[in-house]
Structure 1
Amino acid sequence: MNEAAPKPVNPIWVSIAVSLAAFMEVLDTTIANVALTHIAGSLGASSEESTWVLTSYLVSNGIVLPLSGWLSGLMGRKNFFILCIIGFTFTSFMCGIATSLSMLIIFRLLQGLAGGGLQPAQQAIIKDSFPPEKLGMAFAITGITTVLAPILGPTLGGYITDNYNWRWIFFMNVPVGLLAAFLVKVLVQDPPSAQKQDVGSIDYIGLGLIALGLGALQIVLDKGQQEDWFDSSFIVLFAVISAISLVLAIYWLLQQKRPVVELKLFKIPSFGMPCVMMFFVGFALYGSTTLLPMMVQANFGYDATLSGLLLSPAGIVVLFMMPVVGKLVNVVPAKYLISIGMLINALGMWATGLITPQTDYSTFVFVRILQTLGLPFLFVPASTLAFSKISPENSSNASAIISLTRNLGGSIGIALVTNKLIHSQQIQQSYLVQHLTMADAGYRYALDTYTQVMTNLGVPSTLVSTKAMGKIYQDLLHQASILAYRDAYNFVAVILIVLGVAALFMPTNRPQKKETPVESH
């Protein structure tokens, strides 16, 4: 106890150090999406097989996320964070040199395990580095990582894949990871509540049930659409395994004195409701980020790089809005900001549903900005409110749960919007086909126009009618697809409007303007 206390480090520098590592990890949840075709071709695999590059990462990442608070206590938070960075850096390098798809999948699985602890630990470290009255600004910093990285991922991934080689998606993590590990080692100091603790015997039953339940759930969400959901015995099996395992896990964890996941935090009203809102932050962010590139590539002829560039301006807007909202949290109660954020995002989703086959690039950029403009109003206040009654001892556990709910929201959001999209395409196509009759003026006009065009092009008279009908059917499929995207975006908009109203009934936090001790339990 005679050692001199370490000199405090400016929390901004601490934030930069830990955010560098977390940004790298969150980026990898979306950066590989646009490279799957190149990866499959390079490693001699089918497109379906290559999707396991994404699934393996998400499964292992989802398993570790809720356990990261317990692992931080087992090793000490700083030690755990550095171990995660080194593990993530090494496995990124191994992914880059993979010579077969099976080798790549194995190291993506390990990469997800190593990276799963980075987001929660980053959030907990930043939370404990700032005084309570500056929590809004602290979570504005973590929000830049959480919201900006998934937006930039497809852009960066598309650019690297189109101009260099897909392997550099993984190789670029190596220098960033080494720098991050060095900065964390030098700058981060564990408070007493975050140092290595006696966690007692390891709860193998709780650990196993969580790993099995969340792993199976992630497989269901990621492979469900591809396998035709519950028409597939594969999906049914994993859905049953997930449901049984998670129900048993909840029951078991609530009986333990020292559980691997502290579910009792949900008894705190100011924590439980923001977790629900964070779930829908992931839902809106990942769902909309998935839909827009798909739409412009399928219907407007954009390549991977250009479709990714559509997302970048929105990321810049989010970058500037985060600190603004970080200051507003100290003035306006969180629930009102969350409600505003939900309604802004809903407006953005609805506006995207107004697109037509003639919509241009600048319009897409504008609606994407509108889609994401509300995210800072959701993330920062929800995080601030969630941690307002959390003791320092529970910071890591709370961060783990919040990160899990947000990521699950993203996975479920992607699954729901893609399912809605495919279902709507079938409905819209069926509806439009009903109008292909001579009684419909629009159909007669299109048929006459295309017949004249085909005749002018010198198409033989015996084929003119067939060619004209084929062109009309192509237009029909194109319009059905665009209408289906409108339906998917409107589906998300309705959910966000309901949540915007529900947010008004959340607990009211008192904006902190002066130093106020964080309540401990």
Structure 2
Amino acid sequence: MAITVTIATFMELLDTSIANVALPHIAGGLGRSFDEATWILTTYLVANAVVLPMSAWLSRVFGRKNYYMGCVVLFTLSSLLCGTAPTLPIMLIARILQGIGGGGLAPVEQAILVDTFPPAKRASAFALYTVAIVTAPAVGPVVGGWITDNFNWRWCFFINIPVGLLSLFMTNRFVRDPDSFAEERKTARTPEGKLNIDATGIALIAIGSAALEVLLDRGQLDDWFGSTFICSMLVIALTCLVTAVIWELNEKDPVIDFRLLGNRNFAISNVFFFLFSVGLFASTTLIPQILQSLYGYRAIDAGLVLGPGAGVITLLAPVGAVLVQKGIVRPKYLMFLAISFAGYSFLYYSHLNLDTDYGHWAFARALQGFGYAFFFVPLTVIAYSELRPDQNNKASSLTNFFRNWGGSFGIAFATTLAERRSNFHQARLGENLPASSTLLQETVQSLTLYLQQHGLSPVDAAHKATAMVGRMFNAQVQILAYMDCFYAIGVLTLVLAPLALYTRNFKIDPDASPGH
């Protein structure tokens, strides 16, 4: 069961990171600029963000299994449309449809796992889920780089088709809605059979989520608050989302049940769902960028650096599940230790430099993977520890709501901070290394002499030596900025780690039935 419902989520997360790597090739293939092609990412994320919080309500309306299979069908067909798109407008329409389909997969999968497995076995189910959501973004750049280097960018979308068909077959055979969910489905309709639609809540959340996603995804490209467009998105997002929270708290059957955050364990868990995605997506974005721009790695080589982290999680996540299930370690203590270790891994990243080789980068990623391997399983168990079975569906939408926004904030934070710190270090290094610097002049002269000895004329050698020093200067500025990003994420992670200790203790009953 766990493998069945994890396949489609793995496919959706894999496709997101593949598209990022292939974007320059897609822009060239469609005859558009790179800036125009970035809307291929934005449209998907916006559609995904709009649908994700509504997945609990939609699954009640259509039935969880039916809705899940419908999402897989839509994602698969829109992947085919993406792969065959002849123009950018058609590609954007296909990506919107793909985002709508992909947005419902993770929340429904998580709800299925919670309702299918009793508390004593949930840890094992979520160990597999952990492997999927962490491994997919990591292997995506590797797969995307290999496909674009050896085939055509369109195959980045075509590979979803067989996976989608396999997911549909297995879901149809092995997944069913639990009996308790039949009662929950009745709440989606009035006694007269009409749908209970929280139209105001849906509209506010959809518009607010869309505006916030555009703000985060386009902010750095459009100079943040120097852009009237970005400022408008901020006003719309804040107005709609704040109003939505107030509205939903007073709604009898809200599309997002924010009242669940009144439960201490659930509320703290969502802080860590957000933090988890901030660290995962920020690092998964930064590392390939650093290795390709500063170390000259190919896309596939940069992606391979992420592999050890995924491998460690694959091996150790089941161990974390056993520790939780057998009661060897209380979930909150395991989560505290794991998130502390993940925070330390970011501090380890922050001490790397331009001379760091592949082995040290891979080791740093393995350290991060070690922390996450023991983090997500106890986190998920704690999140659902005090919820009633009828709350699981809405809870899964809310946890994925925070996890999704954590990823968006993480990417926006990392790219923006890297740019800001790059400007800072450029100014500081420039102050300490003026053109009149003896060290600078000696370096240029030494390089000029070296180039002359290798056949360049004195004039050409001088120009090239100056350019080489400039590139070294810029590389040093950029690596310092990137290391600041890792340091900031590490400090944030370590500061929040003790919050895990404030979750309430609970007992895992090995004889409990599913959902209890």
How far residue 465 of structure 1 moved from its aligned partner, in angstroms, is 4.6
Instruction: State yes or no: 1:508 paired with 2:504.
Output: yes
Mapped partners of 2:458, 2:147: distance in 1: 49
Structure 2 counterpart of 1:348: 345
How far residue 441 of structure 1 moved from its aligned partner, in angstroms, is 6.0
Structure 1 counterpart of 2:252: 257
Q: How has the CA–CA distance of structure 1 residues 465 and 91 changed in structure 2, closer, same or farther, with 3 Å as cutoff?
A: closer
Structure 2 counterpart of 1:10: none
1:363-442 → structure 2 map (5 Å cutoff): 363-437=360-434, 442=439
CA contact (8 A) 1:391 1:518 kept: no
Structure 2 counterpart of 1:55: 42
1:157 alignment partner, one of 141, 144, 164? 144
Query: Is there any run of 5+ residues in structure 2 with no aligned partner, and where?
Result: 190-195
How far residue 355 of structure 1 moved from its aligned partner, in angstroms, is 2.0
* TM norm structure 2: 0.94
CA contact (8 A) 2:117 2:514 kept: no
Mapped partners of 1:371, 1:101: distance in 2: 38
Structure 2 counterpart of 1:6: none
1:193 alignment partner, one of 144, 157, 180? 180
Q: How has the CA–CA distance of structure 1 residues 68 and 462 changed in structure 2, closer, same or farther, with 3 Å as cutoff?
A: closer
Q: Which residue identity is paired with 2:390?
A: E
Mapped partners of 1:313, 1:204: distance in 2: 46
Mapped partners of 1:217, 1:301: distance in 2: 34
CA contact (8 A) 1:435 1:443 kept: no
Structure 2 counterpart of 1:119: 106
How far residue 199 of structure 1 moved from its aligned partner, in angstroms, is 1.2
CA contact (8 A) 2:78 2:97 kept: yes
CA contact (8 A) 2:282 2:414 kept: yes
Structure 1 counterpart of 2:201: 206
1:161-176 → structure 2 map (5 Å cutoff): 161-176=148-163
* 1:265-291 deviations in Å (ceiling 9; x for gaps): 111111010011010110010000000
Instruction: State yes or no: 1:136 paired with 2:123.
Output: yes
Query: Is there any run of 5+ residues in structure 1 with no aligned partner, and where?
Result: 1-13
Instruction: State yes or no: 1:471 paired with 2:468.
Output: yes
1:311 alignment partner, one of 295, 302, 306? 306
How far residue 498 of structure 1 moved from its aligned partner, in angstroms, is 0.5
Mapped partners of 1:455, 1:198: distance in 2: 81
Structure 2 counterpart of 1:68: 55
Q: Which residue identity is paired with 1:450?
A: L
Higher mean C-alpha displacement, 186-195 vs 55-64: 186-195
Q: Which residue identity is paired with 1:268?
A: N
Structure 1 counterpart of 2:192: none
Instruction: State yes or no: 1:25 paired with 2:21.
Output: no
Cα-Cα RMSD: 1.8
How far residue 152 of structure 1 moved from its aligned partner, in angstroms, is 1.3
* 1:453-512 deviations in Å (ceiling 9; x for gaps): 1342454445655443332222111111111111111111111110123322x2133352
CA contact (8 A) 1:334 1:508 kept: no
How far residue 444 of structure 1 moved from its aligned partner, in angstroms, is 4.8
Q: How has the CA–CA distance of structure 1 residues 441 and 374 changed in structure 2, closer, same or farther, with 3 Å as cutoff?
A: farther
CA contact (8 A) 1:333 1:511 kept: no
* TM norm structure 1: 0.93
* 1:341-382 deviations in Å (ceiling 9; x for gaps): 222112221222222222222221111112232112221111
Q: How has the CA–CA distance of structure 1 residues 445 and 515 changed in structure 2, closer, same or farther, with 3 Å as cutoff?
A: farther
Q: Which residue identity is paired with 1:234?
A: F
Structure 1 counterpart of 2:242: 247
Mapped partners of 2:261, 2:339: distance in 1: 22
Mapped partners of 1:343, 1:164: distance in 2: 42
Q: Which residue identity is paired with 1:215?
A: A
How far residue 434 of structure 1 moved from its aligned partner, in angstroms, is 2.0
CA contact (8 A) 2:116 2:514 kept: no
Mapped partners of 1:479, 1:127: distance in 2: 48
* 1:28-72 deviations in Å (ceiling 9; x for gaps): 221100000100000011100111111111111111111111111
Mapped partners of 1:55, 1:433: distance in 2: 36
CA contact (8 A) 1:278 1:378 kept: no
Structure 1 counterpart of 2:28: 41
1:498 alignment partner, one of 484, 495, 506? 495
Mapped partners of 1:300, 1:354: distance in 2: 16
Mapped partners of 1:141, 1:449: distance in 2: 56
How far residue 451 of structure 1 moved from its aligned partner, in angstroms, is 3.3
CA contact (8 A) 1:27 1:153 kept: yes
Q: Which residue identity is paired with 1:162?
A: D
Structure 2 counterpart of 1:94: 81
Structure 1 counterpart of 2:211: 216
